[in-house]
Structure formats: structure tokens, C-alpha cells
Amino acid sequence: MTAFRTKSRAAILAVALVGVFLLGIPVAEAHRFTASSTISIHYVDGKFQGRVRSSRPRCEKRLVKVFKARPDRPDIFIGQDRTNDNGRYRIPKPPRIKGKFYARARKKIGGRYGHFHRCRRALSRIIEAP
């Protein structure tokens, strides 16, 4: 009797699962996208701050690095921050370092299970900070 109940439950479950798939419940389909991004930079109260913007919200949450621009020499890394859910970042400026600075958001590639998300890198304008 127990074997009969187990088999009937399995059959009912199988019919229910087939029905769910035939009804067309939305399932995440495989997709690919490449999105461009922009990044802003401002110097306010001893901190560099700005925002990463993109048409895709996934591309706004990224690692941002600030560099001191130097002509004819390698640029100096100042600091980094991961943006919040709104794409905003804040990086303190070290004391006694002045000059021209810019921010960079690296490209971001991600996804799995047939999804491929690619966010292009972004480079800010150069600003002067005392």
C-alpha cells in the first residue's frame, strides 16, 4: 500500500511540473549586453567624490580608483572605493598632495548560466585639487 501511495504522489508531482512548464512561467532567458558608462569626479571637503552612471544598474556598482595625473611619468594611485547602490563613491585625498586628478572605473564582466554582462570602462575629466 505504501509503494502505491509513493508512486501516485510521484505521478501527481510529475503532472504538476509539466503543467507549470506548459503554462509558461517566466524564466530568465540567456542574454548578452554591453553597456557604456560615465564617471564624474569632484573635490569637496578634502575628498574626491562622484558617481558612475550607466543605462544598466548592474554597471553602476563598481570599483573606482583615483589617480594623480603626471605628464611624461606614470600616474600615482591615490585611493579606491566601491560604489554604493546609487553608483556614488567617496575617496579621501591624502594631505600635502596637490595637482591634477582623475577617476577611473574599470570594465566589469560578469554573468553565468547563459548571461553575459559587460560594462565598458569609464574615465572622468581631469580636475585640479589644492
- Strands 76-82 and 108-110, bridge-based pairing: unpaired
67-102 burial code (b ≥16 CB/10 A, e <16): bbeeeeeebeebbebebeeebebebebeeeeeeebb
> Residue 109: pLDDT band by 50, 70, 90 thresholds?
confident
Q: Is pLDDT above 90 for 115? A: no
Vertex 59, ends 92 and 124: CA angle to 5°?
Answer: 45
For residues 5 and 12, the answer to whether their CB atoms sit within 8 Å is no
Confidence class of residue 4 from pLDDT cuts 50, 70 and 90?
low
Q: Are strands 31-35 and 115-119 parallel, antiparallel or unpaired?
A: parallel
pLDDT in tens, 14-50: 665 555 555 555 555 667 778 899 999 999 999 999 9
State mean pLDDT over 110-125.
Answer: 82
Is pTM beyond 0.75 here? no
Determine the pLDDT at residue 23. 53
Q: Which fold has domain 31-129?
A: Immunoglobulin-like (2.60.40)
Predicted pLDDT at 88: 95
Give the pLDDT score at 61. Answer: 82
pLDDT tens digits for range 50-85: 999 988 887 888 899 999 999 999 999 999 999 998
Pairing of strands 108-110, 115-119: antiparallel
